[in-house]
Amino acid sequence: YGAGKDNETVTLDHYQVMHSLEKEAFHSAIIDLKTESGLQQVILREVQMHPHRPLVLHMDFQRIKATEKLHMKIPLHFEGADTAPGVKADGGILAHTMTELDITCLPKDLPEYIAVDVSALGMNESLHLSDIQLPEGVELTVTAYHEGEDPTVAAVTVPKVVEEEEEALPEEGEEAEVAEGAEGAEGAEGTPPADADDEKSE
């Protein structure tokens, strides 16, 4: 549908469709689709899946015009996480608070993904929306952010599992006190009270 033309119904090979849906680029790229009226340039707008089986029920493709801007959701690719100081040197983890962006652009400028460089992030440091370098010709839509706000896109944080383990482990002094207390308790159980010995001897 779209581009001022009538809607068309197209039958596609299910195996090829399922295989294409597994590719990230298929969801955000311009697709050449052959229909009865000829070859069409389209973008994927919606996929309806069977609720219980791996079966595609319906797909919507929108025709594009070279002179009309598109509104798309484009995935983010985070690059340099393994070499980020907060991850490599300090053992932190990179947490993503965004995985895609709402953008608008002409079809010729549509990117498959937007690269986000996180290689400079240290522990407890974050990257915000304003830090992302958008490709030429690509703009954020109004829905991508609220005016006056600069939301976090990614951050390096301390792993929660490590924090819990550190809290659970007692300090050396506490271990010693616990051990001494246990030995004292065992000794008390094995030694009868002094008064009891005196009563028996009488």
The pTM of the whole model exceeds 0.95: no
pLDDT band at 200 (very low <50, low <70, confident <90, very high): very low
Ranking 2-11, 123-132, 167-176 by mean pLDDT, the lowest is 167-176
Q: Is the pLDDT of residue 94 over 60?
A: yes
Mean pLDDT of 188-200: 47
**201 or 60, higher pLDDT:** 60
Q: Is the pLDDT of residue 198 over 60?
A: no
Backbone angles phi, psi at 194, to 5 degrees: -60, -40
pLDDT at 172: 55
Mean pLDDT of 6-29: 95
Assess contact for 36 and 11: CB atoms under 8 A. no
Chain segment 103-159, per-residue pLDDT in tens: 999 999 999 999 999 999 999 999 999 999 999 999 998 665 666 688 999 999 999
Same fold across 1-65 and 69-157: no
Alpha-carbon distance of 35 to 85, in angstroms, equals: 52
CA-angle at 4, arms to 3 and 9, nearest 5°:
80
List all residues 6 or more positions away from 15 whose beta carbon is below 8 Å from its beta carbon: none
- In CATH, the number for domain 69-157 is 2.170.120.20
pLDDT band at 168 (very low <50, low <70, confident <90, very high): low
Q: Where are the domains of the chain?
A: 1-65, 69-157, 160-188
Residue with tokens 């033309």: 5
Residue with tokens 């792993």: 159
Q: Is the pLDDT of residue 186 over 80?
A: no
pLDDT band at 87 (very low <50, low <70, confident <90, very high): very high
pLDDT at 144: 56
Nearest partner of 118 among 146, 82, 69, 142, judged by Cα: 82
Query: Of the CATH numbers 2.40.240.10, 3.90.1310.10, 3.40.50.620, 2.30.42.10, which one belongs to the domain with range 1-65?
Result: 2.40.240.10
